[in-house]
Amino acid sequence: MAHFLFCSLDAALIGDIAWQVAEEGHDVRYYIEADSDQEIADGFVPKTDDWRGDLDWADVVIFDDIWVGSDIGTGEIAQELRAEGHAVVGGTPNTDALEEDRGYAMEVLEDHGVNTIEHHVFEDFDAGIKHVQENPAPYVIKPLGEVQNVKRLLYVGNEDDGSDIVDVLKAYKKAWGHRMKGFQLQRKVEGVEIAICGFFNGQEFIEPINFNFEHKKLFPGNIGPSTGEMGTSMFWAGRNELFAETLGKVEGWLADEGYVGSIDINCIVNEDGIYPLEFTPRFGYPTITLQEESFESETGQFFLDLANGRDPGLEVHRGYQIAVRVVLPPFPFDDEATYDENSRNAAVVFESDSREGIHIEDAKRVDGQWRVAGESGMPLVVTGKGETMQAARAQAYERIDDILIPNRYYRDDIGERWVDGDGDRLQAWGYLGPQA
């Protein structure tokens, strides 16, 4: 048995993994900084209100996100703790910057021989508008700095002359000019969107490698406002071409940084090449939940080995996996009155005794009753596995049918893109190696 200290210094995101590790018999303590999230994971995981006081107790410290404040992120804290001799899953200031500063991320990729899409960073809206007018094409607007977490501000252009991008930038200048201090314009590329994700132990990527497909829009068919994520589908494989041409090329840089944890790079892939879009130098959500569900090795031992620079010898489910986020009003928006009326403290009722594939996000357990917690309206993630993507989908949605929460909603098409042709295209283009 090992001692695990889980730390949420921004939003509470790692409760489910803490719960799974505790269920394996390890001694777990979970610290949550945000006042609004204090009750998340109550009844599932033992809590602490002094994470620094527990450092000497802990065998492993695990951070779930990179954001703390404008001057410091968890990467800086993790780096300091490693220097003091603690085993830590977390980043560094430079790896935090991969997400915070997209221009810097592209520079790192280019410096290591990774192909990138044409991109330009602007601090002035008028300069960005002028660039599009002088170089008409479809673009993607990606906000930088603090507002990049406002997912609805990411805009993917549709017009070949860039006229919709110009209109959106003019609107953003009026509505967000006081907060959006910069943005990246990235040339739009058509193809299959896929994220290559690896676990790094401070020295190298461990195998197998994870390949996942994000579903960021609120509604089926990939329409509606952007969310953090409505669901994920995935599989595991070896160091194929997708890995070799992306994460594989920055493996040495990550070793020099001493990075420990999950890192993924989201890409557009077509018959002409692999084009990175952005890094996630931390756990993804609900990606980590689905990854943990597909572990056939013990989760706690995996993180203990990872944080101490060892190869955990990870065994995973052979086949396909999907995760579906079950949400409540007003997700993905902030509206306290709507949340209070429709969602706060709502009961989660199960029609069967099984909890297989049921994972918590913003949930708590009170006298044995599962209830909604927090402020975000994201109580559960439901997963499924199978030898085919269709089988994984069927299992996940059967499990959702056994859950009753008033006013719940979710996407019913997670994994369909693979079935509808993404898998065939990636195979035809020669990017997929043998599965794990």
The answer on 135 and 202 residing in a single domain is: no
pTM of the model: 0.91
Contact 332, 151 (CB under 8 A): yes
CA dihedral 326, 329, 335, 336 (to 10 degrees): -90
The answer on 155 and 222 residing in a single domain is: no
Which of 28-42, 109-123, 196-210, 307-321 has the least mean pLDDT? 109-123
Q: Which residues pair with 280 in a beta bridge?
A: 264
Mean pLDDT, residues 289-315? 98
Contact 407, 343 (CB under 8 A): yes
* pLDDT value at 226 more than 90: no
434 within domain boundaries: no
The answer on 84 and 179 residing in a single domain is: no
How many whole angstroms separate alpha carbon 237 and alpha carbon 240? Answer: 7
The answer on 128 and 36 residing in a single domain is: no
pLDDT digits (tens, 9 = 90+) for 361-404: 999 999 999 999 999 999 999 999 999 999 999 999 999 999 99
113 within domain boundaries: no
The answer on 355 and 295 residing in a single domain is: yes
Mean pLDDT, residues 16-22? 98
- Residue 345 carries which DSSP code? T
Percent of the chain beyond pLDDT 90? 83
Type and span of the H or E element at 83: helix 74-83
**Residue 227, SS3?**
strand
The answer on 293 and 273 residing in a single domain is: yes
Contact partners, residue 114, CB within 8 Å, separation at least 6: 245, 246, 249, 250, 276
The last residue of a domain, from among 187, 214, 247: 187
Contact 379, 329 (CB under 8 A): no
The answer on 384 and 264 residing in a single domain is: yes
Number of domains, the chain: 3
The answer on 338 and 287 residing in a single domain is: yes
Band (182; pLDDT cuts 50, 70, 90): confident
How many whole angstroms separate alpha carbon 141 and alpha carbon 157? Answer: 8
Q: How far lies 52's CA from each of 30, 251, 282, 303, 307, in Å?
A: 12, 31, 21, 20, 18
* pLDDT computed for residue 176 by the predictor: 82
Q: How far lies 303's CA from each of 4, 209, 252, 275, in Å?
A: 9, 16, 21, 30
Which of 32-41, 61-70, 237-246, 252-261 has the least mean pLDDT? 61-70
Q: Which residues pair with 185 in a beta bridge?
A: 120, 141
The last residue of a domain, from among 43, 67, 98: 98
Band (76; pLDDT cuts 50, 70, 90): very high
- Residue 77 carries which DSSP code? H
The answer on 380 and 413 residing in a single domain is: yes
The CB-side HSE value for 283 (13 A sphere, CA atoms) comes to 26
Band (178; pLDDT cuts 50, 70, 90): confident
105 within domain boundaries: no
DSSP string for residues in 168-199: HHHHHHHHHTTT---EEEEE---SEEEEEEEE
Band (154; pLDDT cuts 50, 70, 90): confident
The last residue of a domain, from among 159, 187, 215: 187
The answer on 178 and 199 residing in a single domain is: no
Q: Which amino acid appears at position 304 of this protein? A: L
110 within domain boundaries: no
- Residue 257 carries which DSSP code? H
Band (435; pLDDT cuts 50, 70, 90): low
415 within domain boundaries: yes
List the domain range (segments joined by +) for residue 267: 192-429
* pLDDT computed for residue 433 by the predictor: 66
Domain of residue 38, CATH code: 3.40.50
* pLDDT computed for residue 174 by the predictor: 86
* pLDDT value at 152 more than 80: no
CA angle, 380 then 281 then 7, to 5°: 55
* Torsion over CA: 267, 284, 329, 169 (sign): negative
Strand order in the sheet with 3-8: 27-32, 3-8, 60-63, 88-89
The answer on 87 and 130 residing in a single domain is: no
Q: Which amino acid appears at position 240 of this protein? A: N
111 within domain boundaries: no
* pLDDT computed for residue 219 by the predictor: 96
Type and span of the H or E element at 252: helix 251-257
349 within domain boundaries: yes
Domain of residue 283, CATH code: 3.30.470.20
Q: How many C-beta atoms lie closer than 10 Å to residue 353's C-beta?
A: 6
Of 323, 244, 245, 328, nearest in space to 289 by CA: 323
Mean pLDDT, residues 189-200? 95
103 within domain boundaries: no
Tokens standing for 200? 């790094």
- Residue 55 carries which DSSP code? T
* pLDDT computed for residue 179 by the predictor: 79
The answer on 146 and 198 residing in a single domain is: no
**Residue 256, SS3?**
helix
